[in-house]
A and B are shown apart, each in its own frame.
Chain A
């Protein structure tokens, strides 16, 4: 290159530009953000669950943290959260690719998990390979101990089907012993992963509890007419009606029971029973309905969380996995404050640390949250926790349920 005026000028300007850029970079570094990515279902069959339990809590947490100045680092400095989100279209293939994108292209500091058991399992090997801790909340699986051992940085925080079935058996057994209900149970379940897991656990647990399963039918996913099923269940003379169902089914059965005047002494539905919308579905007559999950409704932290969630998302959270999702994020923030963003240290802290969250003090056992509510019940407009009955905040169940 010959030295001409133009070339000199060009070199000079690019030099100046470089300096400016460098300066901008340095200024930026002082105010660096923590990049957090997630891929959840915004469209497709998983979008309902993700839209109720996962996304509103991620958004609320990010808002809360940033409003407080950001995530606190071990040195006391604060860094704001920058979110990168993708839609996995409820497809595992797209989900896997989105995680690869977050890890290798966006190079995010942390990845939050998707909604659903299948989705969490699909990304577990990848998260493990890239070294990210995976706080799997919305995954119900009896194999959690195996998975936690297989992927050392995975955490499973919602128990397994067997746990929920045993919890319900406990409640019913106590009611039988008190002479409140007969020992017959009519049970229906959805023919899908979740329903199968629970009903398998329930058959065993009910038998061990000395309860008689008078009716045990499975219905296909997407069923919308439950009249025949419930008429048969009523005819068995069982005092307890138990459905391991998905939200549309839980809602449909509630409507059907009301319109046919079916008033079992225990009315239990699966997912959806703890949704805030359930009261409206039941026409305000949800009193006494039992379902999965529950919260310690008297706890001030939970009350405050419900209020903030309502403010932020326009609706209260569901009373099962929502609070646990938020608590898992609090655990993450507290771990970062103690050990920073290094993945290995973070994982160790999450496994061994004790955290103060909206659901109380949390300590994981073998990477699993075991201190959970198994059965809840609508009482006076709130979905309260009734089992385990010896856990702090448990309320005595109302049996028999008042008529619709």
Chain B
């Protein structure tokens, strides 16, 4: 109960932040909120099941593209609703056909998915509509986008908390530990995975939809940038993908670090990115939060 109160108070505090900061700082907050939402949504499925998905940008880009296609014909809330529905439908389709894959095959498939979606959209635009590149002219301020993104963060973390306590969370953890054992204990593997995957993918689609009005111009090459998928994975892993606050703890410092690097070392930034990837996997395989726990266990044994 107290934890919930603290989380709600933090959310309320974050919601009034835009009143006190400059446009640039608000831009930073939006960037941070998007990555926290992406990493949390990603971890909602991948954290417990340990299915590493690189499809993040496939859904993220689809969300952005939906807004680009519909923003001139439908009112904004309907557009966002459509984006969510399209994301969910796509996740169901993809999930049904691929969640029987496991290990490296799943990783490769999800990576290919982003490319597939990009090429499909390109093909459609070239042969059917005959234009490539769409415009998003919406009268949304940075504050509006920030608040929507913050809401998505709250939903992603709230849903994760709820799932962790529910039978679904237990089932997902069992699947992550050993699929065969899980199946033998009576867990419906396909249904469980599909459900979590769809929730996660829908949230990711919504993040893309909410973020897109800031770009004004959208084309497949811009919205299906694979770096987004990699960053999401590395942020979630850094914090600890199987913990409620892990993705948040990983996303915020990494996001700030990348911003600092791009400001101060614009030419060498990709090298640092690669080193970070390696460091996270080697030094903190279970994430920062687990690392803290280890430290506490080692030095704080006297205290309960």
Chain B contacts for A192, CB-based, 8 A: 122, 132, 219, 221
Q: Which of A207-250 touch B at CB < 8 Å?
A: 218, 220-221
How many angstroms from the CA of A218 to the CA of B126 in the assembled complex? Answer: 8
How many angstroms from the CA of A118 to the CA of B219 in the assembled complex? Answer: 8
Interface flag for B217 (CB, 8 Å):
yes
Interface flag for A91 (CB, 8 Å):
yes
Chain A contacts for B221, CB-based, 8 A: 45, 192, 221
By the criterion of a CB under 8 Å from any partner CB, how many residues of chain A are at the interface? 34
Partner among B24, B119, B126, B130 whose Cβ is within 8 Å of the Cβ of A105: B24
Chain A contacts for B269, CB-based, 8 A: 43, 87, 89
Interchain CB contact under 8 A, A193 and B132? yes
CB distance from A404 to the nearest CB of B (A): 31
Q: Which of B210-245 touch A at CB < 8 Å?
A: 211, 214-217, 219, 221-222, 225, 227
CB distance from B128 to the nearest CB of A (A): 12
Chain B contacts for A124, CB-based, 8 A: 216
Counted as pairs of residues, one from A and one from B, with CB atoms less than 8 Å apart, the total is: 96
Determine the residue in chain B with the shortest Cβ distance to A41.
Answer: B266
How many angstroms from the CA of A134 to the CA of B222 in the assembled complex? Answer: 21
Chain A contacts for B31, CB-based, 8 A: 93, 97
Determine the residue in chain A with the shortest Cβ distance to B259.
Answer: A97
Interface flag for A33 (CB, 8 Å):
no
Interface flag for A86 (CB, 8 Å):
yes
Encoded as 1 (CB less than 8 Å from any A CB) or 0, chain B from 20 to 38 comes to 0011111110010010000
How many angstroms from the CA of A348 to the CA of B241 in the assembled complex? Answer: 54
CB distance from A397 to the nearest CB of B (A): 30
Interchain CB contact under 8 A, A191 and B122? yes
Interface flag for A92 (CB, 8 Å):
yes
How many angstroms from the CA of A91 to the CA of B222 in the assembled complex? Answer: 7
CB distance from B26 to the nearest CB of A (A): 8
Chain B contacts for A125, CB-based, 8 A: 216
Interchain CB contact under 8 A, B266 and A86? yes
CB distance from A378 to the nearest CB of B (A): 29
CB distance from B162 to the nearest CB of A (A): 30
Determine the residue in chain A with the shortest Cβ distance to B30.
Answer: A97
Interchain CB contact under 8 A, B133 and A96? no
Binding site for B on A (CB under 8 A): 42-43, 45, 85-87, 89-94, 96-97, 100-101, 103-105, 117-118, 121-122, 124-125, 191-193, 196-197, 200, 218, 220-221
